[in-house]
Structure formats: C-alpha cells, structure tokens
Amino acid sequence: MKCKICKATAVVALRSHNAAFCPDCYLKFFARQVEKGIEGQKLFTRDERILVALSGGKDSLALMLELSRQGYDVTGLHIDLGIPGSSPVARGVVERFCARHGLKLMVRELAAEGLAIPLVKERLNRPVCSACGKIKRHFFNKVALDEGFDALATGHNLDDEVARLFSNTLRWDTAYLSDQGPRLDGEDGFARKVKPLWRLTEFETANYAFLMGIEHHYAPCPYSPGASFSTLKALLQRLEAAMPGRKLDFYQGFLARARPVFARREAEEGVELAPCTSCGYPTSSGDMCGVCRIREALKDSK
C-alpha cells in the first residue's frame, strides 16, 4: 500500500477518504482536518485564548498538541475527580504530557471543593455519571470565565458527536438538537464551547496519538466501565463500513440543514435562564443550579 500523496509506504488507510498515508502525510492530513474544523465552523482565532479540557485520554491530549503545533494560544485544564486508583493516574499522564511539551496546565481538585466523586457517589441516591458530568461542565465553564478565556475546547471526536446526534434523534430531543454541534456560542454566564476534532474519528485520532508518541490513560472510570453510547457507536461503525464517509456527511448535513430549524423552534419557545441563587451561574431551574443542589444534598446527608 502506497501513500496517496508521496507514494512512500503507507501506514494508515482511510476508506472514508479513499486514501492511505505515510506517517508524515498522515500528520499533515490530520492537521488539515483540524484546521478545516476550526475555520469551517469559526470556532476561534489565533488571537484568542483557548482553555483545553484534558482528561488524560488520547482525544483531548491529541487536540492540545495539535492546537499548540498550529500556533494557537492554549492552556490545559484537568479536573482531578478524586477517585482513588484512577484519578492519580489520569492526572499524572496529563502533568507529564504538559511538562514534556512545555504546555501551560491548570488543575482543579474536586476534593478541595468537597465534591470528590466517590463522596458524591456514596451520598447521592442516583447514578454518579450524570452528576459527575454536570460537575465537570460546571468547572470547565467557571474556570474559563473566571480566568478570562475566549473558549473552552473538549476532545469530542466525530464518533462521539454522531453517536450523540443519533441518540438525540432517536428521542427527538428538540432542545438538544437545537444546539448540538462543534460550536456553542458564549452568552451571559456561559463560556463559548468548541469541539475542534469534530471532523476526525476515534480511529483517526488514535492514529495521530500513536504517531506522535502520546502516552495516554486507558483505564475506564471504575463507576462507568462501558464507554458512553457504546451500542450506538457499534451500530454506526457497521453503517460506516458499508457506506464509507456516511458519518461525516450525516453530521455535516445536520449542521447545515437541520440544526437551524430546531434552533429557530427552540428560540420561539424560549427557555428562561436566571442566576443560581447560590453560586450565581445561570440555570434554567428557577432556583439553584445542579451543582449547588448536589452540594446541598451532600450537606443534608452528612
């Protein structure tokens, strides 16, 4: 198998792009896809400061490295969840990665906030994953706003996005369908959220991480061993194998033709946001935000 660009020996074949690449040409292909993802959806510019949420997984580390190689002003943010066994490993991976590449890093510890995930799990009478997601998103937003960043970037890839889109579609969740996408504009109390890897699959990102020698954290969270959307992802993988390129087409078609329709509908219905009565960050609950409610529940159950 020969590289489509330079005819050297290829190491990666991509059916969706009808191409195979040698290592150098693959890295250029990857960079070009990230660039297209950023420019095509106007995610951010080189003058802006970007906070990149680093979990220790290959996607967010690959994103951070590629953005810095492209000259963007990036700072990493790791949320230490306080889970014995798994959190110290993830944090160590992120810290070594940033030190090795000379990248700025901020770490926030949930334990210092009284919100260590094992404690939340023990005290709350419901699945911890949704509470954990809520807490992480709260701190992504808070740190981005408090520290004056222009946007908060996560490592979500095309497979994550298409699986989520498919899941929202299966439920016809029009509220989620109205604002799912690689760019969610900032508004009062909310930082802009961006997903620059939206054009790249899990496989493509894993190849990049491998070729760039990125050490990453494999161990799944002990509380949610199955990857999210694993059934839908497997289904979509079969569709992609039969119809290469369909995943990206489906997602791009949604962004161009379906999301605006849902967004108009949602704007007509209008969800009221007001500051949380405890922390001041916006919420649609009309009272306390989800994270402050978790804090209260922890106090009550002491």
CA proximity to 67, closest of 40, 98, 31 = 31
User: 53, 77 in Cβ contact below 8 A?
Assistant: yes
| Annotated binding-site residue? 40 | no
Chain positions contacting ligand AMP, by CB under 6 A: 53-55, 57, 59-60, 77-79, 81, 136, 154-156
Q: Which is nearer to ligand AMP, 136 or 247 (CB)?
A: 136
Which residues, 6+ apart, have CB-to-CB distance to 56 below 8 Å? 78, 89, 90, 91, 93, 94, 216, 217
Taking CB under 6 A as the rule, does residue 281 contact ligand FES? no
Give the C-alpha distances (Å, rounded to integers) separating 160 from 59, 69, 195, 242. 11, 24, 10, 19
* Site map (CB under 5 A) of Zn ion, residues 242-281, x = contact: ----------------------------------x-xx--
Q: Which is nearer to Zn ion, 144 or 292 (CB)?
A: 292
Q: Which is nearer to Zn ion, 4 or 134 (CB)?
A: 134
Q: Which stretch binds ligand FES (CB under 6 A): 5-13, 65-73, 216-224, 261-269?
A: 216-224
Task: Name the binder of 53 from ligand AMP, ligand FES, Zn ion, none, CB < 5-8 A by kind.
Answer: ligand AMP
Q: Which is nearer to ligand FES, 51 or 117 (CB)?
A: 117
Distance between CA 180 and CA 80 in Å, rounded? 26
Give the C-alpha distances (Å, rounded to integers) separating 210 from 18, 61, 104. 21, 11, 22
> Which residues are 283's β-sheet partners?
274
**Which pair of tokens denotes residue 203?**
């496989």
* Stated length of the chain: 302
| Annotated binding-site residue? 279 | yes
Taking CB under 5 A as the rule, does residue 294 contact Zn ion? no
Task: Collapse the DSSP code of 229 into the 3-class scheme (helix H, G, I; strand E, B; otherwise coil) and give the result.
Answer: coil
Rounded to the nearest angstrom, the gap between the alpha carbon of residue 100 and the centroid of all alpha carbons in its chain is 23
CB of 84 to Zn ion, least distance (A): 27
Segment 152 to 181, residues that bind Zn ion, using CB under 5 A: none
Residue ranges for the binding site for ATP?
Answer: 53-55, 59, 79, 155, 160
Footprint of ligand FES on this chain (CB under 6 A)?
Answer: 117, 128-129, 132, 221, 223-224
> Which positions make up the binding site?
3, 6, 22, 25, 53-55, 59, 79, 155, 160, 276, 279, 289, 292
